[in-house]
Structure 1
Amino acid sequence: MTPLLRVISTCMRRRATCSCRDRMEAVVNEWLWQDRYWLPPGMHWEDMEVMEGQGKGPYPLPRDLIYTLPVAFAFIAFRYVFERVIAVPLSKRLGVKDRIRIQAAPLPKLETFYKQKSRQPTQSEVASLGKQCGLSQAKIQTWFRHRRNQDRPSNTKKFCEASWRFVFYLAAFTAGLASLLDSPWFWDYRECWQGFPKQPVTDAHYWYYILELGFYLSLLLCVSVDVKRKSAKMFHYAGWTRTCDSLFVVFALVFLVTRLVVFPCRVIHTTLVVSLEFFQPFFGYFFFNSLLLVLQALHIFWAYLILRMVYKFAFMGKVERDERSDEESEADEDEQPEEECDESSWEQRKGSINSKLASLANNCVLNNLTNQRNLNSRLPKAR
Structure 2
Amino acid sequence: MLSDLSEWFWQERLWFPKGLGWADLEDRDGRVYAKARDLWVALPIAVAFLIIRQIFERTVATPLAALLGVKETVRLKVLHNPTLEFYYCNVTKTPSQTSIVSLCKQTGHSERQVQRWFRRRRNQDRPSLLKKFREASWRFTFYLLAFIAGLASLIDVSLKTFNGTLLPSQYWYYMIELGFYCSLLFSVASDVKRKCFKEQIVHHVATILLISFSWCVNYIRAGTLIMLVHDSADYFLESAKMFNYAGWRNACNYIFIVFAAVFIVTRLVIFPFRIIYCTWIYPVTVYEPFFGYYFFNGLLMVLQCLHIFWAVLIIKIAVRFLTNNEKVDDERSDKDETDLSEDEEEESEKKDIKKNGPVQNGHSVHNNNHNHNHNHQRHSKME
For 1:340, the equivalent position in structure 2 comes to 345
For 2:370, the equivalent position in structure 1 comes to none
Residue 138 in structure 1 maps to residue 112 in structure 2: yes
Equivalents in 1 of 2:32, 2:191: separation in Å?
36
Residue 311 in structure 1 maps to residue 288 in structure 2: no
Aligned ranges for residues 81-100 of structure 1 at < 5 Å? 81-100=55-74
Equivalents in 2 of 1:176, 1:28: separation in Å?
35
How far did residue 32 of structure 1 move?
A: 3.3
SS in 2 for 1:41: coil
Equivalents in 2 of 1:266, 1:68: separation in Å?
28
SS in 2 for 1:87: helix
- 1:57–1:201 Cα contact (<8 Å) kept: yes
- Aligned pair in 2 of structure 1 residues 102, 336: CA closer, same or farther (>3 Å)? closer
Question: Between the two proteins, what is the percent identity of the paired residues?
Answer: 47
Equivalents in 1 of 2:100, 2:8: separation in Å?
52
Q: Which amino acid aligns with 1:37?
A: L
Residue 76 in structure 1 maps to residue 50 in structure 2: yes
Equivalents in 1 of 2:103, 2:140: separation in Å?
45
Equivalents in 1 of 2:191, 2:46: separation in Å?
15
For 1:249, the equivalent position in structure 2 comes to 257
For 1:106, the equivalent position in structure 2 comes to 80
SS in 2 for 1:339: helix
- Aligned pair in 2 of structure 1 residues 123, 266: CA closer, same or farther (>3 Å)? same
- 1:119–1:144 Cα contact (<8 Å) kept: yes
Residue 202 in structure 1 maps to residue 167 in structure 2: yes
Q: Which amino acid aligns with 1:30?
A: E
For 1:59, the equivalent position in structure 2 comes to 33
SS in 2 for 1:333: coil
How far did residue 336 of structure 1 move?
A: 11
TM-score by length of 2: 0.71
Partner deviation per Cα, 1:287-320 (whole Å, 9 max, x = no partner):
2212223433443444344333333222222334
For 2:187, the equivalent position in structure 1 comes to 222
- Give every structure 1 segment of 4 or more consecutive aligned residues whose post-TM-superposition deviation is greater than 4 Å: 334-338
Residue 33 in structure 1 maps to residue 10 in structure 2: yes
Q: State how many pairs are aligned.
A: 311
Residue 282 in structure 1 maps to residue 290 in structure 2: yes
User: Residue 156 of structure 1 is aligned with which of 123, 130, 150?
Assistant: 130
Q: Which amino acid aligns with 2:10?
A: W
For 2:271, the equivalent position in structure 1 comes to 263
How far did residue 263 of structure 1 move?
A: 1.8
Q: Which moved more, 1:205-214 or 1:163-172?
A: 205-214
Equivalents in 2 of 1:338, 1:306: separation in Å?
36
Unmatched tracts of structure 1, length 5 or more = 1-22, 354-383
- 1:101–1:339 Cα contact (<8 Å) kept: no
For 1:9, the equivalent position in structure 2 comes to none
- 1:100–1:338 Cα contact (<8 Å) kept: no
Equivalents in 2 of 1:314, 1:322: separation in Å?
15
Unmatched tracts of structure 2, length 5 or more = 195-236, 358-383
Equivalents in 1 of 2:187, 2:11: separation in Å?
31
Q: Which moved more, 1:27-36 or 1:217-226?
A: 27-36
Task: Kindly report the root-mean-square deviation, in angstroms, between the aligned alpha carbons of the 2 structures.
Answer: 3.3
- Aligned pair in 2 of structure 1 residues 304, 340: CA closer, same or farther (>3 Å)? closer
SS in 2 for 1:121: coil
Equivalents in 1 of 2:242, 2:185: separation in Å?
22
- Aligned pair in 2 of structure 1 residues 142, 336: CA closer, same or farther (>3 Å)? farther
- 2:45–2:180 Cα contact (<8 Å) kept: yes
Q: Which moved more, 1:234-243 or 1:163-172?
A: 234-243
Q: Which amino acid aligns with 1:321?
A: D
Q: Which amino acid aligns with 1:129?
A: L
Partner deviation per Cα, 1:42-69 (whole Å, 9 max, x = no partner):
3332443xx33x5744322322222222
Equivalents in 2 of 1:28, 1:217: separation in Å?
24
For 2:140, the equivalent position in structure 1 comes to 166
TM-score by length of 1: 0.71
Equivalents in 2 of 1:55, 1:218: separation in Å?
37
Equivalents in 2 of 1:90, 1:305: separation in Å?
29
